[in-house]
């Protein structure tokens, strides 16, 4: 499997973003975005989703992994429902690029440990913890891909009749979004 992949760590306040090389060897941090929880006007994507769409297009991403938070027991909670909804909206915006949900249990704990081991003080973790968690999510997915030869996780399927956000995403990438050219 070739092509860059992206990973998204969805939080209630911030969204972490990570990417990898075309061979899928090493995951690296990209950015931490503020979560846009306000429903945008008709014909517009939330700013965090719009930024991810731009990254997907510019990097020529082959797939996007979205972290699915679960309790240690494996059960899903409110955060899982939020991540699933985010993944569906993202899948609608980046189609035909596939979006996959992957188990992200302990990704934030692992990210905190990695940041601490790298010498970053705990008070500076907040600025980068979400993108560090996205790196952990992506690296785990890449490792699973190499081990199995298959994409990792649960593919996000679009429901028949789901809104087609590709036009908005295309206009955004072309720089025409928001100009009233539609």
Cα dist. 179→40, 41, 86, 88 in Å? 15, 13, 26, 26
To the nearest whole percent, how much of the chain has pLDDT over 90? 49
Alpha helices in 40-165 (DSSP H): 47-59, 78-94, 107-117, 125-148
Contacts of residue 66, Cβ cutoff 8 Å, sequence gap at least 6: 7, 8, 10, 83, 86, 87, 90, 99, 100, 101, 102, 156
Domains and CATH numbers, the chain: 5-173 (3.30.420.140)
Query: Can you give the pLDDT at residue 172?
Result: 54
- The structure tokens listed for 112 are 């905190």
With contact defined as beta carbons under 8 Å apart, do 6 and 30 qualify? yes
- In this predicted model, what pLDDT tens digit does every residue of 46-92 receive, in sequence order? 999 999 999 999 999 999 999 998 877 777 778 889 999 999 999 99
Q: Cα(145)–Cα(7) distance, rounded to whole angstroms?
A: 14
Question: Mean pLDDT over residues 105-130, rounded?
Answer: 62
- In this predicted model, what pLDDT tens digit does every residue of 16-47 receive, in sequence order? 999 999 999 999 999 999 998 776 666 678 99
- Residue 155: which H helix or E strand, with range? strand 154-155
Query: How crowded is residue 7: how many other Cβ atoms within 10 Å of its Cβ?
Result: 32
Higher pLDDT, 126 or 181: 126
Query: Can you give the pLDDT at residue 176?
Result: 44
With contact defined as beta carbons under 8 Å apart, do 137 and 107 qualify? yes
């Amino acid at each position: 499997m070739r092509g860059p992949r992206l990973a998204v760590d969805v939080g209630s306040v911030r969204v972490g973003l990570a990417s990898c090389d075309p061979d899928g060897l090493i995951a690296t941090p990209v950015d931490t975005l503020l979560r846009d929880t306000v429903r945008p006007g008709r014909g517009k994507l939330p700013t965090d989703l719009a930024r991810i769409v731009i990254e997907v297009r510019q990097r020529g991403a082959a797939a996007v992994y979205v972290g699915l938070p679960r309790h240690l027991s494996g059960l899903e909670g409110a955060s899982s429902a939020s991540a699933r909804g985010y993944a569906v909206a993202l899948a609608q915006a980046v189609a035909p690029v596939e979006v996959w949900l992957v188990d992200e249990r302990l990704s934030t704990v692992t990210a905190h440990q990695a940041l601490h081991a790298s010498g970053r003080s705990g008070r500076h973790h907040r600025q980068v913890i979400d993108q560090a968690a996205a790196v952990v999510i992506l690296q785990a997915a890449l490792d699973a891909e190499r081990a199995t030869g298959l994409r990792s996780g649960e593919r996000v399927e679009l429901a028949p009749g789901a809104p087609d956000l590709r036009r908005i995403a295309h206009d955004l990438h072309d720089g025409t979004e928001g100009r009233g050219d539609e």
